């Protein structure tokens, strides 16, 4: 279970939000909502431990993520809003590198299957600099298919640049992760065909 208590987020000298709280349990899909600049990405960075809250605490399985950082990160997959891709490497090389760095399954056959599943069968060995925006996004998202053991998926705008079919496929993969007892927390400005309506956390309700 992921719990956030009384969170406040400071950027520069500006308090974005305060007294924000939520709880995410096995099977939950939580959509973080609110207008541009309200602090959705900032909240995800707090939740992943990449940034520290001005106040409040985040707990994973009852323990502070600051104290149990390694155990928490073993259970976490975070995909930021910009795919971290090396243009000189192929999608396959990028995925293998990202998985190896994270300690996930990075063998060639598994990574090839993940890229095929995400619709990049014809681009496996191209240099990534020639990929379209949607294809670049898919390279990053392929990690989802190699991260089933990670219970908590935190995804910043995962649907950006995807076509209608890819949005549907991704929504299904996220729904399946939740159906299997996982948890998903995501930001998105678009609707997606999840099998269950996500819960919504409106950051605007906590804005300062
Ligand atoms: N140094 C700073 N001083 C003041 N405000 C800052 C500073 N750095 C960032 N900000 C503000 O913090 C907010 C960060 O927003 P964040 O990226 O978390 O928003 P978001 O809700 O994810 O937006 P979007 O929907 O556009 O992706 C923005 O309003 C930005 O202007």
- What three-state secondary structure class fits 141? helix
Two tokens, residue 175: 């729904």
Residues 6+ apart with CB under 8 A from 143: 77, 79, 95, 98, 99, 102, 104, 114
* 42 in contact with ligand 1, CB cutoff 6 A: yes
In short, whether 190's Cβ falls inside 6 Å of ligand 1 is no
How would residue 173 be classed by pLDDT, with cut points 50, 70 and 90? very high
> For ligand 1, is residue 16 a contact (CB within 6 Å)?
yes
* 123-137 tens-digit pLDDT: 999 999 999 999 999
For the entire predicted model, the pTM comes to 0.94
Ligand 1 atom 13: residue of nearest CA:
37
Cβ–ligand 1 distance for 14 under 6 Å, the answer: yes
List, as one string, the DSSP characters of 14-81. Answer: EEEEEEEEEEE-TT-EEEEE-STTSSHHHHHHHHHTSS--SEEEEEETTEETTTSHHHHHHTEEEE-S
DSSP per-residue string spanning 164-188? HHHHHHHHHHHHHHHHTT-EEEEE-
Instruction: Flag whether pLDDT at 82 surpasses 90.
Output: no
Half-sphere exposure of 138 (CA within 13 A, CB side): 28
pLDDT computed for residue 129 by the predictor: 96
Which of these, 57, 49, 56, lies nearest to 74 by C-alpha position? 49
Ligand 1 centroid from CA 99, angstroms: 29
Rg over CA atoms, the chain: 17
Quote the distance between the C-alpha of residue 207 and its chain's center: 23
Closest C-alpha among 173, 8, 165 to residue 79: 173
Mean pLDDT score of the chain: 95
Residue 39 alpha carbon, nearest atom of ligand 1: 18
Task: Please count the CA atoms within 13 angstroms of the CA of 54 that sit on its side-chain side.
Answer: 15
pLDDT of residue 27: 96
Whole-number Å distance between alpha carbons of 177 and 165: 19
pLDDT band at 92 (very low <50, low <70, confident <90, very high): very high
Distance 31 CA to ligand 1 centre (A): 18
User: ipTM, 2 decimals?
Assistant: 0.95
Q: For strand 29-33 and strand 183-187, is the pairing parallel, antiparallel, or unpaired?
A: parallel
Q: Which of 7, 39, 50, 54 to mutate to test the pocket of ligand 1 (most atoms within 8 A of CB)?
A: 39
Cβ pair 185, 32 in contact under 8 A: yes
User: What's the whole-number mean pLDDT along residues 155-173?
Assistant: 94
């Amino acid at each position: 279970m992921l719990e956030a208590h009384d969170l406040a987020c400071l950027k520069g000298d500006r308090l974005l939000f305060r007294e924000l709280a939520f709880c995410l349990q096995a099977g939950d899909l939580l959509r973080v909502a609110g207008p541009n600049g309200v602090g959705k990405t900032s909240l995800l960075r707090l939740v992943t431990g990449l940034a520290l809250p001005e106040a409040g605490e985040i707990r994973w399985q009852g323990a502070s993520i600051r104290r149990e950082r390694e155990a928490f990160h073993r259970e976490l997959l975070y995909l930021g809003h910009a795919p971290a891709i090396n243009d000189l490497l192929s999608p396959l090389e990028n995925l293998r590198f990202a998985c190896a760095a994270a300690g996930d399954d990075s063998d060639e056959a598994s990574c090839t299957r993940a890229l095929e599943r995400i619709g990049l069968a014809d681009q496996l060995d191209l240099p990534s600099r020639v990929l379209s925006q949607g294809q670049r996004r898919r390279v990053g998202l392929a990690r989802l298919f190699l991260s089933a053991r990670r219970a908590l998926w935190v995804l910043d705008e995962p649907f950006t640049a995807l076509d209608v079919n890819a949005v549907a496929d991704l929504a299904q993969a996220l729904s399946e992760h939740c159906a299997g007892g996982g948890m998903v927390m995501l930001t998105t400005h678009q609707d997606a065909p999840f099998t269950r309506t996500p819960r919504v956390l409106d950051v605007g309700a906590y804005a300062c």
